[in-house]
């Protein structure tokens, strides 16, 4: 399935067939209506026309992959665009996935396979969540960027590759460098042409056209002849802070069309988390002056009551509540969530996947391996 991005009317980036894509944390559309966005588009296209390594920096759901695809399209490179999510690859197999392997290189490697660098030869390789790359692989990636050739796992022969690399991250890589988690020399090698993609709350002029685009898309899928948003609903959508960015906006519009009546979406049809225009909640018994010990004691009391009530599957329910709450509080940033919970990122990913909070079933790629 082709998933190339197309710039329509000079102001909107979308995947070719978004309706065929699995739901994920990706943004499936990106518009350039807000003044901050139109200036950004000009910079993106200047960078695209030059053969430089680009680094796209932005929160989850802001449209980093769409920008990378547009850079590839404008660059004129004849080869394929290959997108790989470093965070979704197994640490044990990421070496073979990126650089390929020979037959017998490891248990289960029955025949030779090319890696993603070879698959993207002549085109563009997009490495998302580059900050999750293990330290040993960072060294190898730096060597590939310097020498323009890869060595498959289990081989001693170098294979030349002509690949333009675009990296992306939703974390502060310089902080990772200072913390010793990311190599400074690789950081400088990747950060030749940085592209800062602002969160949706900083480009609110993009929200109305995104509402109209997603409404039209889902109206067709749901067989709704005509749909409109009331002024109150539009005001609420524009005022919302959108911690999940464009992906969250798409989900809210989709849900609103499902529950709306007579093709009219009002504010009551919107499912906005922590919305400033939502009905005022009852005062919380928890004071901002409470200490962590006092908060934990209150939680312990609630837990005892839940145990006494014999709530079924209590452990799994509480684990999901803990992980989902922390994940939401950290704006779906896995590194920050793992730090907040004092667990490793791999433990966190296992928990997110177990509770259906993370779609890691499909790696992001558009090219098949080359045998």
Same domain, 224 and 249: yes
- pLDDT, mean over the chain: 82
Torsion 292-293-298-299 (CA) sign:
positive
Residue 20 is given by DSSP the state: G
Q: For residues 366 and 26, is the Cβ–Cβ distance under 8 A?
A: no
**Is 360 inside a domain boundary?**
no
CB neighbourhood size of 28 (10 A) = 24
pLDDT tens for each residue of 15-34: 766 555 544 556 888 899 99
Query: Hey, what are 306's tokens?
Result: 């839940």
Q: Does one domain contain both 68 and 186? A: yes
Nearest alpha-carbon partner for 82 in 287, 364, 282, 332: 364
**For residue 288, what pLDDT is reported?**
47
**Quick one: pLDDT band at residue 339, thresholds 50, 70, 90?**
confident
Q: Which residue has the higher pLDDT, 339 or 308?
A: 339
Which residues fall within 8 angstroms of residue 160, CB to CB, at 6 or more apart? 148, 149
> In the structure encoding, which two tokens stand for residue 137, read together?
């692989």
Sign of CA dihedral 221, 225, 231, 233: negative
Q: Which residues form the domain of 239?
A: 204-269
**Do the domain assignments include residue 283?**
no
pLDDT at 108: 67
Per-residue pLDDT at 10: 56
Which tens digits make up the pLDDT trace of 89-105?
A: 777 778 888 888 787 66
The residue among 319 and 203 whose pLDDT is bigger is 203
What percentage of the chain has pLDDT greater than the value 90?
A: 39
Same domain, 186 and 305: no
Q: Which CATH number does the domain housing residue 138 bear?
A: 3.40.50.300
- Cα dihedral 62, 67, 68, 69 in deg (nearest 10): 120
- Of 200, 220, 241, the residue at which a domain comes to its end is 200
Q: What is the mean pLDDT of residues 47-65?
A: 93
Domain-terminating residue out of 200, 222, 240: 200
Tell me, yes or no, whether 133 and 251 share the same domain. no
State residue 348's pLDDT score: 86
Instruction: Note whether 193 and 212 are same-domain residues.
Output: no
* Per-residue pLDDT band at 8 (split at 50, 70, 90): low
Residue 368, pLDDT above cutoff 50: no
Distances (CA, A) of 127 to 1, 27, 67, 172, 305: 20, 16, 13, 16, 47
Q: Using an 8 Å Cβ cutoff, are 238 and 276 in contact? A: no
Q: Is residue 153 part of a domain?
A: yes
Task: Tell whether 277 is covered by a domain.
Answer: no
Helix axes 314-329, 292-308, angle to 10 degrees: 150
Is residue 369 in a domain?
A: no
Claim to verify: residue 110 and residue 240 sit in the same structural domain: no
CA distance 328 to 249: 15
Half-sphere exposure of 306 (CA within 13 A, CB side): 13
* Assigned domain for 318 exists: yes
H-only helix segments in the chain: 35-48, 64-75, 94-99, 116-119, 135-147, 173-178, 184-190, 207-221, 231-239, 245-259, 292-308, 314-329, 334-341, 345-354
Provide the domain count of the chain: 3
pTM for the model stands at 0.70
HEC states along 121-146?
CCCEEEEECHHHCCHHHHHHHHHHHH
Lowest mean pLDDT among 19-33, 204-218, 271-285, 323-337: 271-285
Q: Are residues 14 and 154 in the same domain?
A: yes
pLDDT at 251: 92
Give the confidence band of 369 by pLDDT, cuts at 50, 70, 90.
Answer: very low
pLDDT at 188 over 90: yes
Of 46, 48, 93, the closest CA to residue 70 belongs to 48
User: Quick one: 104 and 193 in the same domain?
Assistant: yes
**Would 367 be classed as within a structural domain?**
no
Phi, psi of 275 (to 5 degrees): -70, 135
In a domain, 139, yes or no: yes
Weakest-pLDDT range from 57-66, 204-213, 337-346: 337-346
Q: Is 31 helix (H, G, I), strand (E, B) or coil?
A: strand
Place of tokens 């590939």: 144
Residue for token pair 């004691």: 297
Identify whether residues 256 and 184 lie together within a single domain: no
pLDDT tens by residue, 232-286: 999 999 999 998 899 999 999 999 999 988 889 999 999 886 554 433 333 344 4
pLDDT in tens, 109-131: 668 888 889 999 999 999 999 98
CATH (domain of 247): 1.10.8.60
Whether residues 80 and 133 share a domain: the answer is yes
| Same-domain check for residues 137 and 168 | yes
Amino acid 240: pLDDT: 94
Same-domain status, 69 and 176: yes
Distance in angstroms (rounded) separating the CA atoms of residues 335 and 187: 18
Does the structure show a pLDDT above 50 at 55? yes
């Amino acid at each position: 399935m082709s998933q190339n991005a197309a710039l329509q009317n000079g102001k909107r980036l979308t995947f070719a067939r978004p309706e065929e894509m699995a739901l994920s944390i990706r943004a499936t559309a990106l518009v350039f209506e807000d003044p901050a966005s139109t200036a950004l588009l000009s910079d993106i296209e200047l960078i695209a026309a030059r053969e430089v390594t680009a680094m796209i920096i932005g929160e989850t759901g802001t449209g980093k992959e769409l920008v990378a695809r547009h850079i590839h399209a404008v660059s004129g490179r004849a080869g394929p665009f290959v997108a790989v999510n470093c965070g979704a690859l197994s640490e044990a197999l990421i070496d073979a996935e990126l650089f390929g392997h020979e037959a017998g290189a490891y248990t289960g490697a029955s025949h030779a396979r090319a890696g993603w660098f070879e698959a993207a030869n002549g085109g563009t390789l997009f490495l998302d969540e580059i900050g999750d790359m293990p330290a040993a692989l960072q060294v190898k990636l730096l060597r590939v960027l310097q020498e323009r050739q890869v060595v498959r796992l289990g081989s001693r022969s170098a294979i030349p590759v002509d690949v333009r690399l675009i990296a992306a991250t939703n974390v502060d890589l310089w902080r990772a460098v200072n913390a010793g988690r990311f190599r400074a020399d690789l950081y400088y090698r990747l950060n030749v042409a940085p592209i800062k993609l602002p969160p949706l709350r900083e480009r609110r002029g993009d929200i109305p056209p995104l509402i109209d685009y997603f409404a039209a898309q889902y109206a067709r899928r749901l067989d709704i002849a005509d749909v409109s948003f009331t002024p109150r609903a539009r005001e609420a959508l524009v005022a919302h802070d959108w911690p999940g960015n464009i992906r969250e906006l798409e989900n809210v519009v989709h849900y609103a069309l499902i529950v709306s009546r007579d093709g009219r979406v009002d504010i009551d049809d919107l499912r906005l988390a922590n919305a400033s225009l939502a009905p005022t909640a009852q005062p919380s018994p928890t004071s901002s002056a409470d200490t962590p010990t006092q908060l934990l004691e209150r939680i312990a009391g609630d837990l005892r009551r839940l145990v006494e009530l014999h709530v079924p599957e209590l452990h799994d329910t509480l684990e999901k509540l803990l992980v989902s709450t922390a994940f939401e509080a950290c704006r779906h940033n896995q590194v920050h969530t793992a730090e907040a919970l004092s667990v490793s990122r791999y433990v966190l990913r296992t928990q997110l996947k177990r509770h259906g909070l993370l779609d890691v079933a499909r790696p992001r790629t558009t090219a098949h391996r080359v045998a």
